[in-house]
Chain A
């Protein structure tokens, strides 16, 4: 079956612009989580969506937002870009319910954002 697809894979923006990243989860997965990965801060949790509702949120400013559609696809948006937003943004999907297998995460390859 198809894996988690993230688009675009690479993008370059300038300070002050905004960006939208897309994530298509594995078919049947209802949970989508987003992470920011940088050399200095490591892997940091942004937010998680389950059945179109934000269920969990990390410690990021309001410039970072997301949403999930009825087909479980998710987008995240970063407004007013700053140099420090340059990072690899990873999306992961999972079944998302309770139980032992619910939170086995399958990651996409990531979207690498460079802010100039």
Chain B
């Protein structure tokens, strides 16, 4: 069975500082990995995804994530935080067990950006 662990339910950074949101996964088969972002009173939207190929994935709004198989991690980073990055971020894993893709979400990390 697949699972996702997001370390830290709340993360605070200063505007302009590095953003690092941690995600570790478990999967019995090679996974597909995703980060989604949710702004207040909205649904989730895809930030970036890893399927195959290059392990460093670039997403929208300057975010990127690196798939590290040996560490079973898919941490999300952004070099310089902006006030508009304040949101909740969800890591998700999908693998094709049982013949079709199943998606499992982490518990989310709320990012606060301090001016």
Contact = CB atoms under 8 A, between A and B. Distances in A.
Interface residues of B, number: 25
Contact of A43 (B32, B46, B90, B94): B90
B44 interface: yes
A109 B108 contact: no
Nearest to B104: A45
Contact of B32 (A56, A103, A109): A103
Nearest to A43: B105
A42 B102 CA distance: 19
A28 interface: no
A98 B107 contact: no
Interface in B80-113: 90, 92, 94, 96, 99-105, 107-108
A60 to B, nearest CB: 15
Contact of A50 (B51, B96, B100, B103): B100
Interface of A: 4, 33, 35, 42-43, 45, 50, 55-56, 90, 92, 94, 96-110
5 closest residue pairs by CB, A with B: A107-B43, A103-B101, A100-B51, A107-B44, A103-B94
